[in-house]
């Protein structure tokens, strides 16, 4: 028996349709589509009419072009392999004023999205004045071949925060940039800013924006807790198996380094064939697993195993579910285990059986 990472394809597509609605979506497919598999995600998103994708990896951008010859592909990290960008028709961010002046001659025939830094401070032009400086310098550039400024974008780093004013601050600052540029006659083929949290907070795409740049919701996790569970559906199941059930006595220590001490006689522990080597976070193991429709506490986590305290109804070969739509990734996000993407990224697809149903 081996632990399994499994996706229900019909459920995945149904969720993506529900998230997309009638809006224009740029699907974030970075990090192998949140480990759902780039090929799988591009195929399923394309089926429901999504033809615009973003990633942080040039290698992934090239693979997307191979999978989807007519897609619009946006690279959120700046790179220096300009020939590859041209060859595969990949759009790219402009990350700073210094990058622009250093490389504008090399960026000819490449579609560029001007990035506004905002509160995240990860990348981008620092102010509207810097954005205008690039636009004006570009307009005055008389070279026959030069870069094509087609997009304007930012990232909201605080859209899933409700107890602080930062989302409203970054949102207002960004909308002022967009409104000012448009009022002054600047035109962009693409304007995008919203992640999943902002997309749901705003009930769709912001004014003047061509796309919402949605990631985690497309993969079945709510970006914040007040979103109704039935509005975002998880298609992923991660499960192991009960290898055997052991009975221990009060005072017995179980697992490495005194991981768990039994508090009563005749304690039954299911030995399960999944552990942190398969990508189960230690913080996730502070909670429970689902066996035969009932939740049982996880007592100890090892590299390839875990102990789950069970009752007499549990037997060898019973399935042990760590994640499915009844025991969701986002539930444990809200319990402090780690971000949705952190839990998904931890999964070890070399040790787990990976299947699409």
Report the catalytic residues: 30, 256
Per residue, the 3-state secondary structure of the chain, as one string, reads: CCCEEEECHHHHHHHHHHHHCCCCEEEECHHHHHCCCHHHHHHHHHHCCCCEEEECCHHHHHHHHHHCCCCEEEECCCCCCHHHHHHCCCEEEECCHHHHHHHCCCCCCCEEEEEECHHHCCCCECCHHHHHHHHHHHHHCCCCCCCEEEEEECCCCCCCCCCCCHHHHHHHHHHHHHHHHHHCCCCCCEEECCCHHHHHHCCCCCCCCCEEEECHHHHCCCCCCCCCHHHCCCCEEEEEEEEEEEEECCCCEECHHHCEECCCCCEEEEEECCCHHHCCCCCHHHCEEEECCEEEEEEEECCCCEEEEECCCCCCCCEEEEEECCECHHHHHHCCCCCHHHHHHCCCCCCCEEEEC
CA dist 296 and 310 (Å) reads 6
Alpha-carbon dihedral angle through residues 129, 133, 135, 137, given to the nearest 10 degrees:
170
CB atoms within 10 A of CB 208: 13
Contact 299, 263 (CB under 8 A): no
Residue of 8, 6, 5, 50 whose CA lies nearest to 28: 50
């Amino acid at each position: 028996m081996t632990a399994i990472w499994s996706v229900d394809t019909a459920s995945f597509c149904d969720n993506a349709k529900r998230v997309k609605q009638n809006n224009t979506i740029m699907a974030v497919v970075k990090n192998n589509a949140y480990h759902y598999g780039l090929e799988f995600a591009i195929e399923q998103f394309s089926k429901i009419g999504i033809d615009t994708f973003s990633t942080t990896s040039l290698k992934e951008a090239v693979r997307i072009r191979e999978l989807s010859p007519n897609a619009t592909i946006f690279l959120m990290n700046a790179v220096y392999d300009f020939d590859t960008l041209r060859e595969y028709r990949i759009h790219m961010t402009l990350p700073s004023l210094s990058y622009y002046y250093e490389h504008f001659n090399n960026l000819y025939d490449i579609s560029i999205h001007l990035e506004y830094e905002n509160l995240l401070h990860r990348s981008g032009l620092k102010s509207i004045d810097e954005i205008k400086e690039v636009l004006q310098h570009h307009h005055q550039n008389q070279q026959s071949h030069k870069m094509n400024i087609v997009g304007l974008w930012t990232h909201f780093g605080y859209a899933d925060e409700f107890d602080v004013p930062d989302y409203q601050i970054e949102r207002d600052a960004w909308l002022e940039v967009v409104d000012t540029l448009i009022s002054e006659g600047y035109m962009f083929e693409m304007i995008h800013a919203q992640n999943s949290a902002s997309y749901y907070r705003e009930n769709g795409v912001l004014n003047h924006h061509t796309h919402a740049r949605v990631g985690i919701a497309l993969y079945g996790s709510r970006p914040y807790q007040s979103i109704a569970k039935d509005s975002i559906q998880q298609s992923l199941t991660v499960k192991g198996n009960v290898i055997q059930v052991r009975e221990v006595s009060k005072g017995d220590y179980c697992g490495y380094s005194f991981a768990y001490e039994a508090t009563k006689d005749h304690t039954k522990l299911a030995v399960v064939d999944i552990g942190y080597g398969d990508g189960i976070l230690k913080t996730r193991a502070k909670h429970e697993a689902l066996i035969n429709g009932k939740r049982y506490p996880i007592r100890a986590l090892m590299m390839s195993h875990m102990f789950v305290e069970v009752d007499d109804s549990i037997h060898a070969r019973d399935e042990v579910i760590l994640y499915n739509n009844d025991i969701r990734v986002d539930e444990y996000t809200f319990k402090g285990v780690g971000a949705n993407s952190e839990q998904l990224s931890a999964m070890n697809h070399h040790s787990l059986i990976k299947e699409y149903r």
